[in-house]
């Protein structure tokens, strides 16, 4: 209906008749196609300060839909993606969700990247009983909103445990130092979960230091870490500080391995830290070097479509869409209730970011990869299963 009124407005303004006819005819063709499609909604930050996250995710989703439609869609019906921008604002995400559900009548919603926006969207999706899959919101509260909210990424408790396991089993570490960013909840959470799992594995936390993101001088904390002679340092921060800390640590003569989480995942990391980052490892959603066919074919098609290497968010967007399609294919009528039921039963789905199984809290239990930073490259080290 909105399309109809906008066309009317165009006539009033007085745009050429021929163009109008073309617009009307595309509309007619369009609407006849719409009738036979399955509508899926996406809410993302395509503009605004976090646009890069939204765009990466969108490209992954778009790619998955293109592939599915090339295979003939779902039971002969093509998939149509309605993607709305929220400018990185929770209120816009809420409005967009309402529009997708009540105006466009979508079967399911994919999004959002950030937990704060997902939390604004989730109550609405839950209220109208439309399944919503967040590709990368790690806050445990998101899926706790209700039984229609899912996610395909692992949550922070798991990531902390993964690195604890890696430190104790692969690196045979006994003494660790924790160096956390008190300003970021992500970092604090990850440190706590790491500590818990590492103590359980029989290790010892010799020193627990903290910094605030934005600082540039970490020498005093690092000196006290050096005094305790840890085997590894757990540093779950974002790449800017991580790069600086690694540099200053090596200058002080600390040779211990440095471990971190997916906040490290940026090309900027090496630009800042340089060679000091050798002998450090971090957990991530997927690795470009992972030789499994699912990963390699995804990278190849993504490169062909967008002419760049996909980042973690692109891979998660792709997986979120594909988990949804797999669930839809098992349903009889494709109604929202059936899709919800099928999504909850997702088991051992082979995605790019690992084998995805939904647990009873609708969080994905899946493997994480550990990457080694070596001369500016992120080398695939190992995969750790839950």
Partner 1 sequence: MKNKKQNKNALNPTDPFCGFASLRWWLLAVAVVWVLNSILPDLMGPYYFQILILAGINVILAVSLNLVNGFTGQFSMGHAGFMSVGGYISAYITTQLIVSHPEIMNDAILGSAVFVGSLLLGGLGATCTGYLVGLPSLRLRGDYLAIVTLGFGEIIRVVFLNMDAVGGARGLSGIMQFSSFGWVFTLAIFTVFTVWRVVHSAQGRVLLSIREDEIAATAMGVNTTQGKVRAFAMGAFFAGVAGGLFAHYLTIMSPGTFDFNRSFEIIIMVVLGGMGSISGSVVAAVLLTSLKEALRPLQQLTGVDLRMVIYSLVLITMMLARPSGIFGTREIGDIYRDWRAGKAPKDAKKLKASTPSKGGAA
Kindly write out the interface string for residues 159-188 of this chain, putting x where it contacts partner 1 by CB under 8 A and - elsewhere: ------------------------xxxx--
Residue recorded with tokens 């509309």: 27
Q: Smallest gap, in angstroms, from Cβ of residue 14 to partner 1?
A: 18
Kindly write out the interface string for residues 117-136 of this chain, putting x where it contacts partner 1 by CB under 8 A and - elsewhere: --xx--x-------------
Using CB under 8 A, which of 59, 62, 92, 262 touches partner 1? 92
The dihedrals phi and psi of 220, each to the nearest 5 degrees, come to -65, -45
Provide the pairing of β-strand 377-384 with 368-374.
antiparallel
Nearer to partner 1, 116 or 383 (CB): 116
Based on the shown chain and the rule CB under 8 A, indicate whether residue 32 belongs to the binding site for partner 1: no
Based on the shown chain and the rule CB under 8 A, indicate whether residue 6 belongs to the binding site for partner 1: yes
User: With CB under 8 A as the contact rule, which of the stretches 34-42, 85-93, 345-353, 365-373 interacts with partner 1?
Assistant: 85-93
User: With CB under 8 A as the contact rule, which of the stretches 60-68, 87-95, 159-167, 293-301 interacts with partner 1?
Assistant: 87-95
Spatial CB neighbours of 236, under 8 Å, sequence gap ≥ 6? 160, 163, 180, 181, 186, 187, 190, 191, 194, 260, 261, 263
Provide the pairing of β-strand 368-374 with 354-358.
unpaired
Tokens of 241: 């500080």
Using CB under 8 A, which of 87, 210, 266, 383 touches partner 1? 87
Q: Smallest gap, in angstroms, from Cβ of residue 39 to partner 1?
A: 12
Q: How far apart are the first and last CA of the chain?
A: 49
Based on the shown chain and the rule CB under 8 A, indicate whether residue 372 belongs to the binding site for partner 1: no
Nearer to partner 1, 136 or 367 (CB): 136
Count residues binding partner 1 (CB under 8 A). 31
Kindly write out the interface string for residues 54-73 of this chain, putting x where it contacts partner 1 by CB under 8 A and - elsewhere: --------------------
User: With CB under 8 A as the contact rule, which of the stretches 12-20, 115-123, 288-296, 312-320 interacts with partner 1?
Assistant: 115-123
User: With CB under 8 A as the contact rule, which of the stretches 61-69, 88-96, 296-304, 335-343 interacts with partner 1?
Assistant: 88-96
Using CB under 8 A, which of 31, 47, 52, 297 touches partner 1? 47
Binding site for partner 1 (CB under 8 A): 2-3, 6, 46-47, 82, 84-85, 87-92, 94-95, 98-99, 102-103, 115-116, 119-120, 123, 139, 141, 183-186
């Amino acid at each position: 209906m909105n399309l109809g009124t906008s066309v009317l407005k165009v006539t009033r303004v007085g745009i050429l008749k021929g163009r109008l006819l073309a617009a009307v005819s595309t509309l007619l063709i369009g609407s006849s196609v719409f009738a036979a499609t399955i509508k899926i909604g996406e809410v993302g930050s395509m503009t605004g300060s976090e646009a890069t996250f939204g765009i990466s995710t969108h490209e992954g989703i778009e790619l998955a839909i293109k592939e599915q439609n090339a295979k003939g869609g779902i039971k002969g019906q093509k998939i149509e993606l309605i993607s709305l921008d929220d400018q990185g604002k929770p209120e816009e995400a809420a409005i967009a969700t309402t529009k997708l559900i009540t105006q466009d009548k979508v079967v399911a919603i994919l999004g959002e990247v950030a937990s704060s926006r997902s939390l604004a969207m989730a109550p609405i999706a839950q209220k109208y009983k439309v399944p919503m899959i967040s590709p990368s919101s790690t806050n445990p509260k998101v899926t706790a909103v209700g039984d229609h909210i899912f996610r395909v990424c692992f949550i922070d408790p798991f990531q902390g445990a993964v690195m604890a396991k890696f430190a104790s089993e692969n690196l045979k570490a006994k003494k660790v130092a924790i160096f956390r960013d008190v300003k970021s909840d992500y970092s604090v959470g990850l440190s706590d979960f790491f500590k818990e799992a590492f103590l359980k594995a029989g290790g010892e936390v010799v020193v627990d230091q903290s910094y605030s993101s934005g600082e540039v001088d970490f020498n005093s904390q690092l000196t006290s870490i050096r005094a305790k002679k840890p085997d590894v340092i757990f540093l779950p921060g974002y790449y800017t500080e991580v790069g600086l800390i690694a540099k200053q640590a090596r200058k002080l003569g600390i040779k211990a391995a440095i471990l971190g989480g997916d906040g490290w995942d940026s090309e900027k990391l090496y630009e800042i830290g340089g060679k000091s980052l050798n002998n450090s490892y971090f957990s991530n959603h997927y690795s470009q070097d992972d030789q499994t066919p699912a990963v390699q074919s995804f990278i190849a098609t993504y490169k062909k479509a967008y002419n760049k290497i996909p980042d973690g968010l692109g891979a998660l967007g792709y997986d979120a869409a594909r988990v949804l399609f797999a669930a839809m294919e098992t349903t009889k009528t494709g109604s929202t209730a059936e899709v919800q039921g099928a999504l909850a039963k997702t088991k051992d789905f082979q995605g790019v970011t690992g084998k995805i199984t939904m647990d009873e809290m609708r969080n994905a239990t899946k493997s994480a990869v550990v990457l080694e930073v070596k001369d500016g490259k992120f080398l695939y080290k190992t995969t750790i299963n839950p």
